[in-house]
Amino acid sequence: MPDKKYVSIFLEGRKIKVPEGYTVIEALWDTGHDIKRGVGCLSGLCGACAIAYLEPGGKRVKFGLGCQTIVKEGMNITVMPFFPSRTAQYNISQMERPIEKLKEIYPELYMCQSCGFCSVACPEWINVSKVMSFLKSGEYEKATEMMLDCILCGLCASRCPRGIAPQIISLFVQRAVEKERPLPENLKRRLAELEDLKYEELWAEIFKLDENGLREFCEKARKEKD
Site residues for ligand SF4 per CB under 6 A: 47, 112-118, 121-122, 124, 126, 128-129, 132, 150-156, 159-160, 162, 164, 166-167
Binding partner at 40 among ligand SF4, ligand FES, none, C-beta below 5 to 8 Å by kind: ligand FES
Residue 194 CA neighbour count, 13 Å, CB half: 6
Q: What is d(CA 64, CA 24) in angstroms, rounded to the nearest whole number?
A: 10
Pairing outcome for strands 6-11 and 62-65:
unpaired
- Supply the DSSP symbol for 147: T
Interface map 26-55 toward ligand FES (x if CB under 6 A): -------------xxxx-xxxxxx------
Pairing outcome for strands 76-79 and 6-11:
parallel
Binding partner at 121 among ligand SF4, ligand FES, none, C-beta below 5 to 8 Å by kind: ligand SF4
- Smallest distance, ligand FES to C-beta of residue 41, A: 4
CA distances from 142 to 79, 102, 121, 139 (A): 32, 16, 21, 6
Binding partner at 171 among ligand SF4, ligand FES, none, C-beta below 5 to 8 Å by kind: none
Vertex 171, ends 105 and 53: CA angle to 5°? 115
Binding partner at 118 among ligand SF4, ligand FES, none, C-beta below 5 to 8 Å by kind: ligand SF4
Interface map 117-156 toward ligand FES (x if CB under 6 A): ----------------------------------------
- Smallest distance, ligand FES to C-beta of residue 221, A: 34
Which of the ranges 64-72, 131-139, 173-181, 213-221 carries the binding residues for ligand FES, by CB under 6 A? 64-72
User: What phi-psi label fits residue 142: left (phi over 0), alpha (psi between -120 and 50 degrees) or beta?
Assistant: alpha
Q: What is d(CA 63, CA 126) in angstroms, rounded to the nearest whole number?
A: 13
Residue type, 22: Y
Nearer to ligand SF4, 18 or 155 (CB): 155
Binding partner at 8 among ligand FES, ligand SF4, none, C-beta below 5 to 8 Å by kind: none
Q: What is d(CA 69, CA 129) in angstroms, rounded to the nearest whole number?
A: 24
Binding partner at 24 among ligand SF4, ligand FES, none, C-beta below 5 to 8 Å by kind: none
Q: By C-alpha distance, which of 140, 124, 108 is closest to 68?
A: 124
Give the residues lining the site for ligand FES (CB under 6 A): 39-42, 44-49, 65-67
